[in-house]
Amino acid sequence: MNEILKLPFYAKLTLILLGLMALLFIFYIGQDILVPIMMSFLFAILLYPIVQFLKSKLHFPHVLAVMIAVILFVFVFIALFVFLSFQISDIANDFDKIERNINIHIRNIQGFIKDHFHLSSREQKQYLDTATEDSMEKGKEMIGTTIMSFTDTLVNLTLIPIYTFLILLYRTHFMLFLSKLFKKENHEQLKNILTNIKIAINSYIVGLIIEMILVSVMTTLGFMLIGVKYAILLGIITGILNLIPYIGILFAGVLSIVASLTGSPDLSIIVGIIIITIIVQLIDNNILVPMIVSSKVEINAFVSIIGIIIGGSIAGVSGMFLALPVLAVLKVIFDRIESLEAWGYLMGDHLPKTYTWRNIKLPLFDSESTPKKTIIKTDIIVPVFTETTTEKDANKTNE
């Protein structure tokens, strides 16, 4: 019989860290290939219930059901892109107003500095010229980088629907491939991991979509109340950028302030935008995220921020968006492998999120209380991995 080799703790820790470093390095050098594939896996998980509905309820063939689901997905994104393009073109036509209003605020700031710090406008200009003497060269480099990034984005937008279609089409084939990588006695654990990954990712993405819609609506209504021009566009952009945790809202706030200058140079509008953005974020972080973005895998804020920073440094905005789903998948795997269970606990967030006061759920900040253990039940039955498993058998099992 084969004896299991038991390694000391420091050896296992070294191997785990080397493995993580190798994965990060592979992801870094192959990001142009891996990022579209990983995004496609997320969208495939999101679209899978639609495919199942078309097959089980409307009795569509598998290929046709997958094709219709992907086409609907593409149409939604095209409609959103067309709407944003028309609105952004209107803002571009008001660029002269933005420039004029920015100059008004700059003169006001210069006057404030002159009165309180006794620096003349000429001295302030000299300081600015010294600080930005290389800005033209950096600006040219930034424009070139932006054009290359835009080209890569267009390529990815073409590849993602194709990858999503193929992943949904060959879903059972990929599952059987995974079953062949492990011994039969480990198939039950493999099915458990795959089921929980599917539940976690699907819950996370659906929760993000609902959160994005609610944040967009709240921001739009708030901007309308204070009289911001292009309130609907800025609300939608805020909701979309809010998908990038902790960082996206900062870009959305700056963009909203700049766009507000198309209407009026009034400082109260800018203050109002800042106040509304803060209020929406407080509602989002303390109510919407705990109650709506109810991912079955909880990642604590410390690990989330580190993951987002690492993802951003490796693959930019796409890496930031993929950071939390990847961490969620890793935690599902770590929690179900005994030797990695400690790392899963380290990534988890075991503090209670809310408490009930008169049937109203409110955020709980008392970290001393012991959280209740939550048991997740699901009716999903995963098909058995066998050589003869077919898509038809999987559908019968799910029904």
User: What confidence tens digit (pLDDT) does each residue in 266-290 have?
Assistant: 677 888 888 998 898 888 877 777 6
Eight-class DSSP state of 134 = T
What is the residue whose two structure tokens read 């039955």? 381
Q: Where are the domains of the chain?
A: 25-128+143-398
Q: What is the pLDDT of residue 388?
A: 47
CA 245 – CA 251 distance, rounded (Å) = 11
Using CB atoms within 10 Å of the CB of residue 21, give its burial: 0 to 12 exposed, 13 to 18 middle, 19+ buried.
Answer: exposed
Q: Which two tokens stand for residue 98?
A: 């933005």
Ramachandran quadrant class, 381 (left: phi over 0; alpha: psi -120 to 50; beta: rest): beta
Whether residue 332 contacts residue 192, with contact meaning beta carbons closer than 8 Å, is answered with: no
Q: Which two tokens stand for residue 287?
A: 């109510």
Using CB atoms within 10 Å of the CB of residue 266, give its burial: 0 to 12 exposed, 13 to 18 middle, 19+ buried.
Answer: middle
Share of the chain above pLDDT 70, in %: 70
Give the DSSP H or E segment for 230. none
The Cα diameter of the chain in Å comes to 86
Regions of the chain short of the pLDDT cut 70: 1-5, 94, 98-99, 101, 105, 118, 121, 123-125, 127-155, 245-247, 262-266, 290, 292-297, 350-399
Closest CA to 74 of 187, 197, 191, 158: 158
Whether residue 293 contacts residue 207, with contact meaning beta carbons closer than 8 Å, is answered with: yes
| DSSP-H helix ranges across the chain | 9-29, 31-56, 62-93, 95-117, 121-131, 135-169, 171-181, 187-225, 231-241, 248-260, 267-283, 289-291, 301-335, 341-347, 391-398
Say whether 214 sits in a helix, a strand or coil.
helix
Q: What is the pLDDT of residue 376?
A: 41
Q: What is the pLDDT of residue 134?
A: 55
Angle (CA) 372 376 382, round 5°: 160
Closest CA to 277 of 305, 256, 246, 301: 256
Q: Is the pTM of this model over 0.85?
A: no
